Structure 1
């Protein structure tokens, strides 16, 4: 493969509403290669999250991708069957969402949730998946990771919950992590810690990061 891993060309996503068509993403183009960090800058409501969801086939109704290309290692994710895009999510491309409390299941332990991400993409015994979950938690700086496998999301601080989300994204060793405003609602000190964790992962594994 030559060129960047991900190439986005003239991507356009819109929403059909009772008030007319809202253009959420209007002609975005960029590329990102292994080990790179690319930041998308814009004010609140400018379409950054919709753009991120467009890349992985998660545009919410009534939105749709109108045109453009999302080339992942040469495959156009806009045009391939959705089952192919689903197979990439969490395995080759992982997402860290803005709000971990709305993304994590409050009635399941964090260990089980991270392990489920492993079992979705790999044929390994459940105990091996739990071991990988503990390793991922350790990699993002969660103390006593094996003990915390049995913890629930509400038992963590906001910064630690976001580390859990990063561990879940990291556990399958993806080539790209899409971090959709991962420090929203965190205080400045915790924001710096979360960004430091992401950069350490990038340097250690070569994972590209889209912010």
Structure 2
């Protein structure tokens, strides 16, 4: 499946570009990286669709597939959440985290086989249902809030140290990080709500078969 490794390569380049240049890079470089991320997202989505279509759902090939569908869907959800937050709020704080996660998830598929992760990421197609996709994307928004929270704590600690020494000004990015964390978590709430409501509605109407893949 050459499409998925190509997406991983693009995401890895974007992650390295963000990490090396940082947030103070020239505007042209920022635009190039943003374009590379969007191109990588398109390639990832296309590769995910082709990969799912190639799986033999009725046979044993699904169990022996290289990437569990839920493993790839989480990577795709993180890329989706980051893209939405970038378009909506100009978020570039989570670029390195999101791009690296997607690249590593594709290039190192054996990671999911660890005892703890193997119970979470399965080879079935149940996560392709609408309500489960809502859950997955909601989890992705919460995951993106994690590096923001860590960066906020790190910068707050440094700002407090500088203030204690009577040197340096207040970090102007702290309010921005705080608002962005709140907005990312806020995105997850309606997604979780929609997922729960759709599943409950289908169960109440006796349409349980719609909750099953295929």
Q: TM-score by structure 1 length?
A: 0.25
Q: TM-score by structure 2 length?
A: 0.24
Q: Which of the pair is proportionally richer in strand? A: 1
Greater gyration radius: 2
